[in-house]
Structure 1
Amino acid sequence: MERVFSLLYKAAREGNVTTLRQLLEQDSLILDRLIIINNNGFSETPLHVAAMLGHADFVKEIITHKPELANELDIWRSTPLHLAVAKGHLESVRVLLSTADHELMSSTWDGEGRNPLHLAAMRGRLDVLRELLKVAPEAIRVNLKDRNETILHVCVRHNQLEALKFLVNNMDDYQIVNAKDDYGMTVLHLAVTNKQIETVKFLLINTKIEVNAVNASNFTALDILAQSQRSEKDFDILESLHSMGASRATDQPLPMDHHKPIKATTHHHHHHHVLQKDEATTKPRYWLTRKRESLMVVASLIATMAFQAGTTPPGGLWQENTSSSTAANSPSYDHHLAGESVMAYRDSDFLYNSYLICNTVGFVGSLSIILLFVTGLPFCHRFLMWVSTIILWVTITAMTATYTIAIWVAAPHNDMNIVRHMLLYLILSWAGVMVVVALLHMINIVNKIFKWLGNITMVRRKKFVYGDGAA
């Protein structure tokens, strides 16, 4: 008997229908015996194997002789249909659906609590989903076993946007779209948590999703997003939510007294004020985050350059100590040791000291910025960010001076006219850039001062007018 079963499973792996027919001619009860053995804890039937490998003809032949095998479970509590669906074998799925118990198919969960429709959605098998919905459309409303999680939650959790679109377009059920899982999360909460921009946009535009629904922690989708606004992706989601009237849970109005009428214009004004307030606090914080990241990158790069320039100055380092004979033949150089800077002996003290000071200022300035960022200070404040920007300006200017001195020292003496002109243009260009930047900032500051004075004047004028009117 073991040999016969071995041949049967080999035929299932190969999809050999001829061998299956020969075995059935030899023993017409072989499939019945297989069911009895499987009920005693056997791992899987030949139908499981054939369905998993996509041998549709073999599946059809077994179903013709023994349709009961379609309901058998393997050790993971999966039916042959579960396996065919998971692997996306459309023809095998069609054969199994022709004899499947439709009600049983909806409530037959595998070891993970999923029915065949959940598996098709999880794997994004659109053709298989279409076939399953033709046979059992009611299965779309069945949750995962022992969990308040719909098939739409499954699509979002596994990032299957096309499957989500297909299912939404084939249902018109407001309750399913807004259903919540065990944590009170709707599919919109889940999409925002997983940073799925396209999914969020689809749900907001094409479904009747409640944009301000709260989860078990009393968080809206906007509350969840506010906890991790760190990238461009978050900002895109924020704009999409705002366009559909999303708000924070703390900003939502208290339940209204039905006995007191409230004008619609008042509610609209309050809602518009909430959105403006949220945008006013979110966009500056986003800008500050991006600016902090940029400053960190620039500071790290300058620190690396300054360290390299300090350890290997122009002209290099002496490779050996000065001997007595060398000192006698080269009276222009003092005694030196290996590893000391050639520039310190060859050029004037002014050039070397200037080079050393400028490079040190650049190195210390860049390290200061890095230290400020890693200490955990609240850099969401503009003042600290402006201080870091000023330090970086000084650092970049010092590195420009370091480069100028290095070029002057390294240039050959017979080309000094070209070097002088080049360095002159460099200094003038850099000074011009600094002047332009300073002017722009001064204009910005003056503009803010005028706005501030204008607001004060406007407030005083209103007080004066309303005071006279009251009088």
Structure 2
Amino acid sequence: MEQHQTKLFEAATQNSITSLQQLLIDDPLILERALVNRFNETPLHVAAMLGHVDFVREIIGLQPQLVNELNSQLYSPLHLAAAKGHAGVVKALLSVDNHACLGRDRNELLPLHLATTKGHIEAMKLLLEARPEATMVKACGGENILHLCVKSYRLEALKLIVTSLKPVVDFINCGDNDGNTVLHLAVAEKQVEVVKYLVSVSAVQVGMKNDDGLTAMDILIRSRRDLRDSEIEYLLKHGDKPAKKKAKKNSWNGLMKKHAVWLEKEKHILMVVASVIATMAFQAGVNPPDGLWKKHDVPKNATGAIDPNVTLEYSTKFYIWNTIAFISSLSIILLLTSGLPIRRRLFMWILMVITWITISAIAVSYLITIKYLREIEGGHDPFKVGDPQVYTLLVWFLLMFLLLVCHTVRIVVKLFKKLRNGCIKCTRSLC
């Protein structure tokens, strides 16, 4: 008997129908015994995997129950034929019993899943026609068949599934166990062509959020930057419409986009900087520079007049500006850890203003200390007209002022445009 079983498998391997018929003459129950061997490979598994259509048709005609037999990996013959892309074998097996379309293997995958991940379009068409509901069955991790298409880089398979689904709205926006839609995955994998196709499908919701509250655009911003990001960003914002005339590279729009990307990716660095400034300001507050809060007789003018209140005046100024730097740096830390949408222009502007105040306050504290220490040493005023330090200070404050004004004007103009557009829409709706 064992020798007959060996010859049966050899016949399946060689696609020899003649050998099969001879074995059936010698042992009419040889195919019945194949049904008894649970969790073992059957001759039909071997023939289906190798794509021997004629042998498959012959054996299922004699023993159709072999179609639903499973091997040790819970693969049915249909699993193996679909994974290998043997469309003829898939068609023959489905003609006997298409229930195997819904059978799961050890990895909880259907034959349609295996054909999809391998990109076998013809086999997919046959499976979809036999059991359309197989597309709704999720794999492990809550992934549907569209997720598998993207993870396997199968654009044509994705298009076939989307066009065969009716309706497609809920399914194409369905998330996995982490809430990631197929668009989230495509953006994370930087698959430009897939993103381009998905945004062209009207049912796809570009602003859909995953369980972490992230949209596809958020995924793009948080990912490692490369040359494809600008195209993906355009697709997410404008769909698959052709790009109009590009704006100048140095436009404010481009600067703000670059700033948004920089801010999102370098947020932890800004956190470290703010923490360092807060530490410096705290240490300077509880342990001020030597002599700043001590009583000295400081000459106030060239005549040598002494004013003992000068020390108190300098220490008060230093205390005020150092406190501003300390509170501002703590505000930056609070804003970065608050979970607010820092990418929004308003919050970016607020963070920029606070950062500007923090750095300027630290600079002023430093200048106050230097001025005081130089005065008590020799009565020399380091900030008189003509001193290089005066011009350096003026340039610093001018630069900070210009940056603040430019960003503020841009924010105001943006808000004004939105208000104007809103008024126009309201007027049109009333008319």
TM bin (shorter chain): 0.5 to 0.7
Question: For residue 174 of structure 1, what is the aligned residue in structure 2?
Answer: 169
Give unmatched runs, 5+ long, in structure 2: 241-250, 264-351, 353-398, 417-431
Aligned to 1:117: 112
CA distance in 1, matches of 2:198, 2:172: 9
Alignment match, 1:132: 127
Are 2:82 and 2:114, in contact at CA under 8 Å, matched by a contact in 1? yes
**TM-score, reference length from structure 2:** 0.57
- Measured after TM superposition, the shift of residue 166 of structure 1 is 1.0
**CA offset digits 1:175-222 (Å, max 9, x no partner):** 110111001110000101111111011111124111111111111111
* Correspondence for 1:161: 155
1:159 is paired with a residue of what secondary structure? coil
Aligned to 1:205: 200
Shift of the alpha carbon at 1:286?
A: 7.2
Please state whether the residue corresponding to 1:232 is helix, strand or coil: coil
For the 8 Å contact 2:103–2:110, the answer to whether it is kept is: yes
The 1:279–1:25 alpha-carbon spacing in structure 2 relative to 1, beyond 3 Å, is farther
Query: 1:158 & 1:180 partners in 2: Cα distance?
Result: 17
Query: Which residue matches 2:102?
Result: 107
**Displacement of 1:278 after TM fit?**
8.2
Q: Which residue is equivalent to 1:184? A: 179
Provide the rounded CA distance (Å) in 2 between the counterparts of 1:236 and 1:90.
37
Counterpart in 1 of 2:90? 93
Aligned equivalents of 2:202, 2:27: Cα separation in 1: 56
1:222 aligns with 2:197: no
Change (3 A) 1:279 1:78: farther
TM-score by length of 1: 0.52
**What is the alpha-carbon distance in structure 1 between the residues aligned to residue 28 and residue 144 of structure 2?**
43
Confirm or deny that 1:81 pairs with 2:73. Answer: no
Are the aligned partners of 1:193 and 1:225 in contact in 2 as well (CA < 8 Å)?
yes
Is 1:194 the counterpart of 2:189 in the alignment?
yes
In structure 2, C-alpha distance between the alignment counterparts of 1:25 and 1:60, rounded to whole Å = 18
- 5 Å matches for 1:258-269? none
Residue of structure 1 equivalent to 2:11: 11
1:138 deviation in Å?
1.7
TM-fit CA distance, 1:244? 4.4
Aligned residue among 254, 257, 260 for 1:282: 257
Q: Which letter does structure 1 place at the counterpart of 2:177?
A: D
- Tell me: CA distance 1:27–1:175, structure 2 relative to 1, closer, same or farther (3 Å): same
Aligned 8 A contact 1:177 1:207 in 2: no
Matches within 5 A, 1:257-406: 280-283=255-258
Deviations 1:88-117 (A, max 9, x none): 1111111111112x3x33430111111111
Identity of aligned residues (%): 41
What is the DSSP-based 3-state SS (H/G/I as helix, E as strand, rest coil) of the residue aligned with 1:241? helix
Aligned to 1:55: 52
Shift of 1:283: 3.5
2:203 match: secondary structure: coil
Task: Map Cα deviations across residues 102-161 of structure 1 (whole Å, 9 max, x no partner).
Answer: 3x33430111111111111111111111111121112122212x5421111110111100
Alpha-carbon distance between aligned partners in 2 of 1:49 and 1:182, rounded to the nearest angstrom: 36
- Looking at structure 1, the residues matched to 252 and 200 of structure 2 have their Cα atoms a distance apart, in angstroms, of 24
Deviation at 1:69, TM superposition (A): 0.4
Q: How does 1:237-248 map to 2 (within 5 A)?
A: 237-244=232-239
Number of the residue aligned with 2:284: none
Q: Following superposition, which runs of at least 4 residues in structure 1 exceed 2 angstroms of deviation?
A: 104-107, 276-288
RMSD over aligned Cα, in angstroms? 3.1
Q: Report what 2:371 is aligned to.
A: none
